[in-house]
Amino acid sequence: MKEAAAVNTDGQSYRASKRKRSKRSKEQNAGHDSKVVPQSTTTAAPRENADACASPDNQGTAGPPVSHDYARRWCVLGAFSSQQGQECIEMEYVLLHVPSTRCGKIDATEKFFTRMKSLIAVMTVEALRPDSAGEKNIKKMLSFLDAWERHADKKKFLSESSAEGLRVTLTSTLELVRCLREKVGFRYLLTSRLSQDKVENLSGMVKLLSSCNSHPTPQQFLLTVSLFIILHTVLQARI
């Protein structure tokens, strides 16, 4: 009985000390929260007020400043991701709500991104035909690059490697369309197959088959590709 009473007393004292520690911890947390520096009472203006302050009529004389860089990035993303021919709706928003004294005219930027969006659509299309609208867009882009390089300084133009690579890609695509049409009889070209993703996939498969040899020699590369061809032929024969 004495041992049981001692155990009961020890349990009660342990629970009491635990409650005290919990109470002390809560008081410390409450004191820490009371010492936190309150946030500034100045709040941002409502969206309606911000738009009104940034309107051309008010010339941005009051209200929070509009982030010009953020608006530019917003326009860039919208120009490539928008659908149903409304690729520049965000730019139109900037034109309506941001004074020209803050961001300047963006007509040229709007035309540039519209041009690039059309070019990307042409180069990833499933069927590029001769004398089509896509072929005309590629030719217009080549002319635009030449005019851009003539009128712009070297610091305001693409790097030499980028400009040359873009010209080679566009010119080779046009020549390939004509060659396949006139000499082979193809009606269209799958430009989506011209991307380097397919080459990278093949290179990755070769490196994977080479195990620890991540830099195979030309002979090893050809041998691996030959093995792929043989394997593909055997699998097709079984089917």
Tens of each residue's pLDDT in the chain, 239 residues: 444 444 444 455 556 666 776 677 666 655 544 444 444 443 343 333 333 333 333 444 443 444 444 444 444 444 444 443 455 566 666 666 666 666 667 777 778 888 888 888 888 877 888 888 889 999 999 999 888 888 887 677 888 888 888 899 899 999 999 998 889 888 888 888 777 777 788 888 888 877 777 788 888 888 888 888 888 888 888 76
- Residue 102 forms part of a structural domain: yes
Nearby residues of 146 by Cβ (< 8 Å), 6 or more positions away = none
**Pair (72, 178) in one structural domain:** yes
Is residue 130 domain-shared with residue 239, that is, in the same domain?
Answer: no
| Same domain, yes or no: 126 and 223 | no
Q: 3 in a domain, yes or no?
A: yes
pTM above 0.75, yes or no: no
Task: Give φ, ψ of 140 to 5 degrees.
Answer: -65, -35
**Matching residue, tokens 């300047």:** 104
Residue 41 inside a domain? The answer is no
How far apart (Å, rounded) are the C-alpha atoms in residues 24 and 182?
89
Domain co-membership, 2 together with 98: no
Identity of the amino acid at 92: E
Domain count, the chain: 3
Residue 215 lies in a domain: yes
180 found inside a domain: yes
Asked, for residue 42, whether it belongs to a domain, the answer is: no
Looking at the fold, whether 77 and 151 belong to one and the same domain comes out as yes
Same domain, 78 and 123: yes
102 and 12 share a domain?
no
Are residues 189 and 220 both part of a single domain? no
Integer angstrom CA distances of residue 185 from 92, 125, 177, 181: 45, 19, 10, 5
Distance CA 177, CA 125 (A): 13
Task: List Cβ neighbours of 171 (8 Å cut-off, separation of 6 or more).
Answer: 142
Domain annotation covers residue 149 = yes
Q: Does residue 20 share a domain with residue 131?
A: no
Q: Residue 128 gets which letter from DSSP?
A: B
Residue 121: give the domain boundaries: 47-199
Task: Judge if 173 and 238 occupy the same domain.
Answer: no
